[in-house]
Structure 1
Amino acid sequence: MRRISICPRMLWPALCVGLFVAAISDAEANTLSIQTPYINTKIALAGTVVDRQGLPIAGATVQVLAFGAGAANAGRTATTDGSGAFELEDLDRRSVLLKVTRAGYYPEIIPADLHRPAYEASTRVGNLTLTDKKPGRVRLMFVGDTMFGRRFTDEDQDGQQEASDLIRSASRAADAEKVVRYVADALASADYAVANLECTVSADPGPEHPYKAYTFYSHPDTLAGLTAAGVDGVSLGNNHVFDYLGTGVYDTINAVADHGLDWTGAEMSETAALDTAIRRTVSGVPLSLQGFSALRTDGSQLSDYLLVALDPAKPGALDASDDNFDEFFAAEEGRFRVPMIHGGQEFSSYPIDAMRERFVDLVDGGAGLVVAHHTHTMHGIGLVDPGDGPRFVLMSLGNFIFDQSTFATTQSFIAVADVDATAYGFDVARLELIPVHVENYVPKLLAGRALERHARQLGHLSSTLPLAPSGSSQPDGLRGAVVFPWRGRVVALRDSSQYVSHASDQSFSLPVHGGAAGPVAFTRQDATDALVGVKTGAAAKVEVGRDILLYGSFEDVDVDGDYLEGFGWDQSEYRHVQSKQAYGGVAAAVLVRTDKHESDVEMPLRRTVPIAGGTKLTLRGHVRADNGGTFRVMTRFYDADGDAIGSHERYSHAAGTYGWRQFTASFTAPAGATAIRVSFKQAPTQAGEGRVYVDEVALIQWDPKPADAKAGVSLPGPNDYSYLRFSEIAGGGARLAVTVTHRIYAAK
């Protein structure tokens, strides 16, 4: 392969791209001339394809999949050489998917971040792993809450369909296929893929459930989206299959069958629902999958309006009862059994006690893998050991195709389970997770820093999973898996037989002011690095924190062909994401004001970030200005009803021109707060146009209990802790000696 020369770093800002906006100001037009040089500054992409043992695979094909503005990259291919290496040259700087194929192996879809600064002439994806196909091995994929109704067909819920709606009545099937186009290739590599179809499916739904607050349905034509994406079966065991009563259940069953989809978890009676287990033998592995719903009621206790099926003739979902679990396990003895259970607390981060109990009971009863959904948020990966080795629990998959846009519901994943038949039964030889970003209801794959951050969040939710139910100190058998980013994916591992880790200490000192020091960022040595220990030379209290803002880097996070989307931020001509100036990466926010304006320009988060009352928070970021007006950072808290309960200025900077500088503000959420919104303001200038740039913003949520740092603090890993701060520092010294412990992980 040819050697790639690197453009000097000092030249790259002059090459970076400006942002096209619907209405472009005179000042913004001045930046458009730099877009063409940026796009024309091509980038090379290199990597290596290996097998599970780390040995190179020669003759593998690496094909570029691309979308939208990045379509010029689509179809480019390379073949690995004898060392497994490949290179793709002269690519546009738009993130892509790599489809890696080789006879005898499962195809893999790996995101590649090409939104790189122009001074980088090349980038690497590292080692990409292929898994061999063989008799006795099956690849299963699971995705979460799915529907194609409500805001998909009427975004503004005004009763009128507009051209901008995602699914229109004249083109339902084609539109549904467009919704899944960014993830279809990833799902297509499964031997068998299952979705939680959380809606009634009907062309003409009957009467709605009279007591439910939320009912919705999808038109049968939209199921073409699932079949186009490679989904093979659906679970109907949920709290929305009965939204349109018995007629709706009947229509749903017929619609999914007409589209060639297997289905489980609902029927016209309980006995019939129990007989809906999906039974397939794939590559010699006998599979049995059964859907259940733990949600029996919604608005009424009347038997006719329960959400579950009853004998002799009450339609609904299959009840997640102990008797039904036992019946399923007994009927499917000798097969790889996967109960898929719908339940839990909506918008939560960890399973409630009732779900914990079910997870343990299901594994003890014979489940080879447990799958859960309903919360609309992703939970971590759990483990339960029935005595012959731990088994995985997917504690909540989150949304897959769903019309929610709250902050926490945009994060999800595709679970990939490679199941082997062994002499002793069955083994999930590998569990991987493909991070998904749900953007305006459409699932897309994450790349680069966003993928790594997503992986750390899953790792954090897993490693910090309590070992006991609430109010108890007695472990119940549910614990977290070891989860971290690995080779363009996220791996979930059972124990140290599947991974290695290495710990190392880093020592430094911090200036002390008023008995406190920090906050200071934890600098990771690589994507898998976790902060697992803290110790100080003097008596002090330490708090660790993690960034819950998620989109404060302003980078483009997903693979869809678009660039500088600024997801999560309210944008206009005078407030948007650009790349002429950036503190880190290639993007930052800009606020534009002139002396002719009479009011401030404000750029708020589009969605509030969930927090609890009393949470300790720190807002930290970077700002610079060119003839800027007064700059202010604002926060606003909201209660459970969505009402504002306080707006505060957290930082301000006087008007003028200045280079990048950091701002930091610490505060505590008021009692009764359930969410926070961050915004940035610039006032009109004294003369001419002013621009204020904002970048690398973090909203740090501190763990609630400070710990004794001198005695040393151990933290579970992998985790997403990214910041430290110290208080009550003894001794009156000017600096505090600190040692942090890094732990780096690698899959075997």
Structure 2
Amino acid sequence: HDTMLGLMAQVDVRDQQIVRARGIPIYLEDYRPRRISGDLANRFIRRLAEFSRGSGVVSFPYQYSAWILAEGELYSKKTQQISHTLTIGESGVAVVDLRHLIPSEASLARVSSVSSGLNVAVGRDILLYGDFEDYDIDEQSFELARWNVSGSSRFACMGGAYQGVQGLCMVRDAQSSGDTVSAFRNRIRVTGDAENRPNKNLSLFGYVRGENSGELRIAVRYYASVGEEEFGEEQAYYHTGGDFPWQPLLSDLAMPEDLPQYQDQSSLNPRALRLFLRKSPTEFGGGVAAFDELAVINWQALQLLSGELTLQTPHAQDFLRIEAAPGRYTLQLDYDIYQPR
């Protein structure tokens, strides 16, 4: 699915010299490029900027476009700080969702805490389309281009939004003969697949609520990153249904390891996945379930937070995994926002 995103370059030339270069973010829909805006544009640009380091340019999101500067050109960087208090339960794990704490054009620069015994990992969302927003600029509204939402039992809805404008609603009543399923259309490749260093440290994260809902399940099916090979599936999430307010869901995924006999062959090893959201009929009457802000998080290695953790910005790592003894902890989070001069 990452191949559906790209940039159109806008380059101004004067006297055979490049005086300005911008990247306009797009994604492909019906084989046509559509300009995108909003949080998806900013997150995609931050990801490109992160992996463009050392290429002779500096890039960052500004007004939903990629600002591209030659090394040495002037820009400004503003650092701001917030405090965030989290509660770690009996599981010993909590996830800090930075998407709801700092602007989408910002990148986390520093994490610190006066508490001891905190282990921290940073992670990036490789799903990208789990907020169910309509980001392309065209005449159509309430689109969910990457999800299978044909029929009347699964659709984009404003009442299903945990954050933003819309989420995914799924309906099934007591008269329905079976489940309704919304599948992510494309396979999602793990970080490092192209370099044959696949990072399979993965979690499914997001938010869900129900109104007289039937049972809810999310299945994860594993694939080779290219080709036809499949490697089974697991049930990553289950809820009995009923009435419940917005609540987070977190599940660590168990993608199979690469096969030793097919080392460095992306077409023969499990390095990609797809999601299948399933809602069963209710026992009586009608019912609805809503999903929003889903993410498939690729985690970096866990490390002890000794004093502070610093990150080079810009980047697209929007999640923190905190492991510690049960209790309340306060983090100091510094983030950077870039602007042209």
Superposition TM-score tier, normalisation by shorter sequence: 0.7 to 0.9
Query: 5 Å matches for 1:400-415?
Result: 407-415=1-9
Residue-pair matches, total: 320
Q: Which amino acid in the other structure matches residue 271 of structure 2?
A: T
Q: Normalized per residue, which structure has more strand?
A: 2
SS in 2 for 1:607: coil
SS in 1 for 2:209: strand
Query: 5 Å matches for 1:567-716?
Result: 567-573=145-151, 574-611=153-190, 612=193, 615-640=200-225, 641-672=227-258, 673-703=270-300, 705-716=301-312
CA contact under 8 A between 1:510 and 1:517: conserved in structure 2?
Answer: no
CA contact under 8 A between 1:614 and 1:670: conserved in structure 2?
Answer: no
How far 1:548 sits from its partner (Å)? Answer: 1.2
1:547 to 1:497, Cα distance in 2 relative to 1, 3 A? same
SS in 2 for 1:719: coil
Distance in 1 (CA, whole Å) between partners of 2:184 and 2:83 is: 37
How far 1:480 sits from its partner (Å)? Answer: 5.7
How far 1:510 sits from its partner (Å)? Answer: 2.8
Distance in 2 (CA, whole Å) between partners of 1:630 and 1:515 is: 24
How far 1:508 sits from its partner (Å)? Answer: 3.3
- 2:20: which partner in 1? 430
CA contact under 8 A between 1:524 and 1:530: conserved in structure 2?
Answer: no
How far 1:736 sits from its partner (Å)? Answer: 3.4
Q: Which amino acid in the other structure matches residue 170 of structure 2?
A: L
Q: Which has the higher contact order (CA 8 A, sep 6+)?
A: 2
1:576 to 1:666, Cα distance in 2 relative to 1, 3 A? same
- 2:67: which partner in 1? 491
Distance in 2 (CA, whole Å) between partners of 1:570 and 1:719 is: 30
1:614 to 1:419, Cα distance in 2 relative to 1, 3 A? closer
How far 1:711 sits from its partner (Å)? Answer: 4.2
- 1:152: which partner in 2? none
Distance in 1 (CA, whole Å) between partners of 2:136 and 2:326 is: 47
1:493 to 1:516, Cα distance in 2 relative to 1, 3 A? farther
1:488 to 1:541, Cα distance in 2 relative to 1, 3 A? closer
- 1:735: which partner in 2? 328
Distance in 2 (CA, whole Å) between partners of 1:740 and 1:491 is: 25
Distance in 1 (CA, whole Å) between partners of 2:283 and 2:64 is: 49
SS in 1 for 2:80: strand
Distance in 2 (CA, whole Å) between partners of 1:546 and 1:519 is: 12
- 2:83: which partner in 1? 507
Distance in 2 (CA, whole Å) between partners of 1:593 and 1:541 is: 42
Distance in 1 (CA, whole Å) between partners of 2:309 and 2:162 is: 32
- 2:315: which partner in 1? 719
- 1:307: which partner in 2? none
1:695 to 1:515, Cα distance in 2 relative to 1, 3 A? closer
1:498 to 1:437, Cα distance in 2 relative to 1, 3 A? same
Query: 5 Å matches for 1:121-200?
Result: none
CA contact under 8 A between 1:614 and 1:669: conserved in structure 2?
Answer: no
Q: Which amino acid in the other structure matches residue 231 of structure 2?
A: I
How far 1:649 sits from its partner (Å)? Answer: 1.3
Query: 5 Å matches for 1:261-660?
Result: 407-421=1-15, 427-463=17-53, 478-479=54-55, 481-495=57-71, 497-513=73-89, 516-522=92-98, 523=100, 525-537=102-114, 538-573=116-151, 574-611=153-190, 612=193, 615-640=200-225, 641-660=227-246
Query: What whole-Å deviation, never above 9, does each CA across 1:264-314 have from its counterpart, x for those lacking one?
Result: xxxxxxxxxxxxxxxxxxxxxxxxxxxxxxxxxxxxxxxxxxxxxxxxxxx
CA contact under 8 A between 1:501 and 1:745: conserved in structure 2?
Answer: yes
Q: Which amino acid in the other structure matches residue 22 of structure 2?
A: E
CA contact under 8 A between 1:707 and 1:713: conserved in structure 2?
Answer: no
SS in 1 for 2:122: strand
Distance in 1 (CA, whole Å) between partners of 2:303 and 2:18 is: 38
How far 1:585 sits from its partner (Å)? Answer: 2.0
How far 1:531 sits from its partner (Å)? Answer: 0.6
Q: TM-score, normalised on structure 1?
A: 0.41
Distance in 2 (CA, whole Å) between partners of 1:714 and 1:643 is: 39
How far 1:505 sits from its partner (Å)? Answer: 3.2
SS in 2 for 1:674: strand
Distance in 1 (CA, whole Å) between partners of 2:286 and 2:84 is: 43
CA contact under 8 A between 2:160 and 2:291: conserved in structure 1?
Answer: no
1:725 to 1:577, Cα distance in 2 relative to 1, 3 A? same
Mind listing any 5+ residue stretches in structure 2 that lack a counterpart? 259-269
How far 1:427 sits from its partner (Å)? Answer: 4.0
Q: TM-score, normalised on structure 2?
A: 0.86
Q: CA RMSD in A?
A: 2.2
Distance in 2 (CA, whole Å) between partners of 1:514 and 1:581 is: 29
1:581 to 1:506, Cα distance in 2 relative to 1, 3 A? closer
How far 1:562 sits from its partner (Å)? Answer: 0.7
Larger radius of gyration: 1
Distance in 1 (CA, whole Å) between partners of 2:56 and 2:2 is: 21
How far 1:496 sits from its partner (Å)? Answer: 5.8
SS in 1 for 2:172: strand
Query: What whole-Å deviation, never above 9, does each CA across 1:541-581 have from its counterpart, x for those lacking one?
Result: 32111111111111111112111111110122222223343
CA contact under 8 A between 1:632 and 1:652: conserved in structure 2?
Answer: yes
Q: Which amino acid in the other structure matches residue 624 of structure 1?
A: R
CA contact under 8 A between 2:173 and 2:284: conserved in structure 1?
Answer: yes
SS in 2 for 1:718: coil
| Mean CA deviation greater in 501-510 or 557-566 | 501-510
Distance in 2 (CA, whole Å) between partners of 1:506 and 1:488 is: 23
Distance in 2 (CA, whole Å) between partners of 1:508 and 1:708 is: 18
